[in-house]
Amino acid sequence: MKRVFIKDLVVKGEETVLLKGWVHKIRDLSHVSFILLRDKSGIIQLVCTKEQIKGLRLENSIEVTGIVRANEKAPKGLEIEVSTIEMTGKVYYDKLPFEVQSFKEKASLETQLDFRTISLRIPKKKAIFKVQNEIEDAFRKFFKGNDFEEIHTPKITHSGTEGGSEMFTVNYFNRRAFLSQSPQFWKQMMVGAGFERVFEVGYAYRAELHNTWRHLNEYVSLDVEMGFIKDETDLMDMEENFIRYLYKHLKETCSDELKLFNVELPEEISIPRIPLAKAQEILLTEYNKKSPVGNIDNEGEALFHKYVKEKYNSDYVFLTEYPTAKRPMYAMEREEDPEMTKSFDLIFKGVEITTGGQRIHDYEMLKAKMERLGLKLEDFAFYLDTFKYGMPPHGGFAIGLERITMQILNLGNIREASLFPRDMKRLTP
């Protein structure tokens, strides 16, 4: 008999079905017994005899055969009249580390992460990764639908893309190598290779000394690079269209999961674009908040979100025109003011989820800037040489998958949006 997932159950007369899953809850009443069975797709009520539940404990994995019955009082209006139950996975615990059945955040996040495979059995915790999976799926579908090709770039590299101080070193056959901070060089090179439009879903590594609610040292980056652009506005247009597509996709695929988190996604998305200097001026005028040179700190991002929400009714804002001194060497400078770049950040509910912009595409211009910054050209020859052969105007951006998941679901800590988070302290599980 072929197994049926709980989400696919329907009443079909006296047809017997086979279900598999975990014992989520047991209710042993005087005249009848119930089990709530949980599989990856949902929870269903089983109507059992006392003999059938004998020896079962919470979180046993079991196989069940029975007939689907309609019952308006049962969860989702269905229940299973059980014929047989077979235990397929015994349990050996004295006590669960925390309740899976009626979890109310009693366990600390650290305890949940210590027992990650148990915490992920909690339906609301698992729902986070259904949403995250659909974000990734929407990302692929949208960009493939806009003539982008998916690529996979090296995660072991011989040099850094964003600077050497925040890199993890690797012993690569007695040579010093690094874990990649970003696919930046390679996605630009693929534009120059004739792919024109590329994207990647892959891990990135930052050896940053941050141990905060919004930082991970290993995270998933959704990267995009696009050739033959006019300027950075083409990139912001593309990302704004993706956010619209994403919200539509999530409404269609994750309505139950969004309800678990009391999230209602807006019908319309229109993202304001505000120069960084203007944002800093607003923060000072409206909130007496001083900003660091060439940037906005975490508190400033949160305050500016409040301003944008009130003025534009938007949870998103593009901050544009970052100073050259605060951006990587490949950032294109503005013709009218070389001290400023054609770059942007996307702030979502007070948290930066994207950095992007137009890149320098002229070989001599890029070479001169590298020399001006004191970089050794031989260290970047593999990258720089691509620009000798007709590199078109191009640019791109990267979205942090865990951050956008965290902000959509209003989670309190980015670790909740990572299956097995890696931070300054955690290397297991």
CA atoms within 13 A on the CB side of 285: 7
CB 45 within 8 A of CB 34: yes
CA gap 319, 316 in Å, rounded: 10
**CA 80 to each of CA 31, 33, 206, 301: distance values in angstroms, whole numbers, following the listed order:** 17, 12, 50, 51
Helical (H) or strand (E) element with 106? none
Chain center to CA of 398: 11
401 annotated ligand-binding residue:
yes
162 annotated ligand-binding residue:
yes
Token pair belonging to 309 = 């929400």
Instruction: Compute how many other C-beta atoms are within 10 angstroms of the C-beta atom of residue 395.
Output: 31
Q: What is the 3-state secondary structure (H, E, C) of 305-370?
A: HHHHHHHHCCCEEEEECCEHHHCCCCECEECCEEEEECEEEEEECCEEEEEEEEECCCHHHHHHHH
121 annotated ligand-binding residue:
no
422 annotated ligand-binding residue:
no
Helical (H) or strand (E) element with 247? helix 232-253
214 annotated ligand-binding residue:
yes
400 annotated ligand-binding residue:
yes
CA gap 201, 219 in Å, rounded: 10
215 annotated ligand-binding residue:
yes
402 annotated ligand-binding residue:
yes
Concatenating the DSSP letter of every residue in 262-288 gives T----S-----EEEHHHHHHHHHHHH-
206 annotated ligand-binding residue:
yes
Residues contributing to the annotated binding site for ATP:
206-208, 214-216, 352, 400-403
Annotated binding site: 162, 206-208, 214-216, 352, 355, 359, 400-403
Binding-site residue ranges for L-aspartate: 162, 206, 355, 359
